[in-house]
Amino acid sequence: MSIDAEISRLLDIMPASGRMLTKIVSKPQQSKVIDAPFASPWNRESRPIYINFDLWRRLPRGQRDLLILRSTNRLINIRWFKPDVNQLIVLAGTIGLIVETGQGDAIGILIAGGLTAISARQIWRDNQSVQRELDTDEAAIKVALRRGYSEVEAAQNLLEAIENAAQLEGRSILGFTELIRTQHLKSLANLSNIDVPEKIN
């Protein structure tokens, strides 16, 4: 497998927003097959997707396709600036922090800083939740439908990719979130009648 040819192929199957906002980087020293680190809101550069191509080439093409679509969707759908209560508290806390710092009010600085930190932490947790992971899987499957996969085929490829990637990484046991994801994907692939609850944290 030529790395350049594979990167070109992966870029072709990505949604247009993924090609604009992300960058595929070869990282042979990493233990993970693919890694898409959580992007901070102030990062204006392309969000990197790191791939260990020595491990990557051992996965079938369909599994590779679903892994790249999932990683891309995970990065482009991070919701730092979706208007909600936490966003407004962070904004108000930041403004308050600036004002109180200018006035030199230590108690005001402490309160505004605390509000900002608590709300920012909640936004971070929302972006890392199990429900967000399930939503990301479903978003990847929807993109795969536009790339010629059926829903069942896409779900099965992603399910097998999770299991095979864990083996290639030397992990004999899936993590909690991965187990929840695989159960949901089994339901989507018609391999199980048992699904996870409609909303899960």
More confidently predicted of 16 and 103: 16
Angle, in degrees to the nearest 10, between helices 61-76 and 151-168? 90
Q: Is the pLDDT of residue 129 over 90?
A: no
Q: Is the pTM of this model over 0.85?
A: no
Tell me, what's the pLDDT at 70?
Answer: 96
Q: Is the pLDDT of residue 66 over 60?
A: yes
CA separation for the pair 188, 152 (Å, rounded): 6
pLDDT per residue over 71-114, tens digit each? Answer: 999 888 765 555 555 555 655 666 765 766 777 666 766 666 66
Q: Count CB atoms within 10 A of the CB of residue 155.
A: 25
More confidently predicted of 190 and 39: 190
The mean predicted confidence, pLDDT, of the chain is: 83
Tell me, what's the pLDDT at 50?
Answer: 97
Q: Which of 119, 79, 71, 122 is nearest to 95 (CA)?
A: 119
Q: Count CB atoms within 10 A of the CB of residue 104.
A: 8
